[in-house]
């Protein structure tokens, strides 16, 4: 009669969550094991390759595994099944807006700031991502000062792979608000000797 091979499955491993990296690559953790029969000498070897179904961001995405192999004196008596039922999350990657700086200006009583340069983003791999929107820059307050922090918002992402990224507006920008020159001019006034002094007036500008 024939003795067919028994089947053993690799257990003891899990797929790891990770940030988006424009690939479908996954990683595993844990110690792979198999439950051989009786006192059989069987161990798990090989080099596992773990892959998500696709590269995109998602929760509990299925992960497939190949590459494990059996070793040991009794390995030829078994068929090996790769790990199944594994899943993990891919979270969005941060995408920073760069290439802009804040401009110094003279005090004007507002918190408005302006930007110079060309805003850009550098997506991963060959991802299709376009930066849009209009940068809106503001100082924390309107007062004159050196190296004042400038916050920026308003930029947006579009493109086929935009959903895989969390856009980070420009950070670390500073600029100076210099005091506005203020001139005071006295208005003309005259009087005839002996009359009361005229009312003096001033123009501030």
Q: State both tokens at 133.
A: 């929107």
CA 161 – CA 3 distance, rounded (Å):
53
pLDDT beyond 90 at 69: yes
Q: What's the pLDDT at 194?
A: 81
Q: What is the full DSSP assignment across 148-205?
A: EEEEEEEEEEESTTGGGEEEE---SEEEEEEPPP--EEEPP----TTSPPPPP-EEE-
Contact 31, 63 (CB under 8 A): no
pLDDT in tens, 99-154: 999 999 999 999 999 999 999 999 999 999 999 999 999 999 999 999 999 999 99
Give the rounded percent of residues in the chain with a pLDDT score beyond 70.
Answer: 100
Q: State both tokens at 128.
A: 């299709």
Q: What's the pLDDT at 165?
A: 98
């Amino acid at each position: 009669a024939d003795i067919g091979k028994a089947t053993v499955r690799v257990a003891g491993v899990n797929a790891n969550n990770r940030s988006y990296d424009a690939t479908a690559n996954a990683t595993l953790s844990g110690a792979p094991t198999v439950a051989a029969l009786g006192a059989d000498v069987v161990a798990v070897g090989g080099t596992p390759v773990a892959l998500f179904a696709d590269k995109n961001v998602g929760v509990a995405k299925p992960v497939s595994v190949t590459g494990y192999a059996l070793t040991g004196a009794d390995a030829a008596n078994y068929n090996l099944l790769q790990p199944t039922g594994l899943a993990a999350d891919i979270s969005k990657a941060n995408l920073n807006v760069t290439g802009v700086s804040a401009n110094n200006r003279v005090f004007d009583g507002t918190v408005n700031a302006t930007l110079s340069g060309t805003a850009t983003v550098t997506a991963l791999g060959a991802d299709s991502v376009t930066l849009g929107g209009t940068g809106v820059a503001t100082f924390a307050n309107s007062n004159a000062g050196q190296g004042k922090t400038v916050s920026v918002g308003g930029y947006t992402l579009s493109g086929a792979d935009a959903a895989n990224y969390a856009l980070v507006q420009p950070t670390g920008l500073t600029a100076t608000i210099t005091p506005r020159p203020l001139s005071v001019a006295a208005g003309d006034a005259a009087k005839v000797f002996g009359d009361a002094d005229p009312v003096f007036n001033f123009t501030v500008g």
